[in-house]
Amino acid sequence: MASLTTPAVLLRTINYGESDRVVTLFGRDTGRVSALARGARKSQRRFAGGLGLCAVGEAALRERAGAELLTLETFDVRAAYPSFGADIGRMAHAAYVAELVSKLCAPRQVEPNVYDWLVEMLAALDANGASAERLRVFELGLLGRLGFRPVVETCAACHGARLVDPVGETVFRWDPDRGGAICPACGARGRPIRGVVRAALTRLGAAALADAGGEALAPDVNRGCREAIFEVIKLHITGPMQSLDFMAKMTKAAKQSNPGDDGGQS
């Protein structure tokens, strides 16, 4: 039976039986895989650093004859991010990016650029806290690395009418089925998208995670960006995003405690 070792991020764990766990990992050299971690709830040697959400480490895996699940022999944790458990905003964003990667990435499809982008996002989240702007940069960067990024700066159909002035430009429509923003000459399907939202999506799509803190989106612009991006995401996933429920509850709680807060962390 083949064995391999890869840098990996722990995306999900489920208790199995009395002492085992089934884990979902995103390995730099394996892509998304599921594995059985025998005795993970008791072993202090093979899983000494624990199997916490979004832990980054070195995974030793082994194929199991006739089984879909691999076996996780050891997981040597390199970064555990305790701040995620101490801060609800960080926890919500970590859960979301982990679920998004899990749903968008096909099993065993090696995507080293996605792995590096995810690890960079987790480190930024740990160091700087939850940020709606950084989350938008991550979403667009992830879509781009998977070949799904929407066309925003020009018309997705004719590639004309390049965005210059977000205030005075002709109204575009948002049609993810056709690739993103659509100019009036190319059809009236989809919904109108505001120029300021299109401009923000253009900037965010070109931004590095490290520079996301320099963006300060107005709540309504962030909401427009979030809705437009998720319309694209929905084309490529199945089933609901459970982490979004958590983020919605967090946003609702923020609004109740501060009526002027539009839930800027999401």
List, in order, residues 6 or more apart from 72 with CB less than 8 Å away: 23, 25, 35, 36, 37, 40, 59, 60, 61
Flag whether 150 is in a domain. Answer: no
119 inside domain: yes
Question: What range defines the domain where residue 80 resides?
Answer: 3-130+236-257
Which CATH number fits the domain that encloses residue 24? Answer: 2.40.50.140
Query: 92 in a domain, yes or no?
Result: yes
pLDDT band at 196 (very low <50, low <70, confident <90, very high): very high
Total domains, the chain:
1
Task: Answer yes or no: is 112 within a domain.
Answer: yes
**Residues contacting 58, CB < 8 A, separation 6+:** 5, 6, 7, 8, 74, 75, 76, 78
The pLDDT, as a whole number, for residue 64 is: 76
Residue 104 domain-assigned (yes or no): yes
Does 215 map to a domain? no
Q: What is the pLDDT of residues 148-185, one digit of tens each?
A: 999 999 999 999 877 655 555 568 999 999 999 999 88
Q: What is the pLDDT of residues 216-261, one digit of tens each?
A: 999 999 999 999 999 999 999 999 899 988 888 776 766 666 655 5
**Is residue 266 in a domain?**
no
pLDDT digits (tens, 9 = 90+) for 47-81: 766 788 899 999 999 987 777 899 999 999 999 99
Q: Report the relative pairing of strands 31-37 and 70-79 from DSSP bridges.
A: parallel
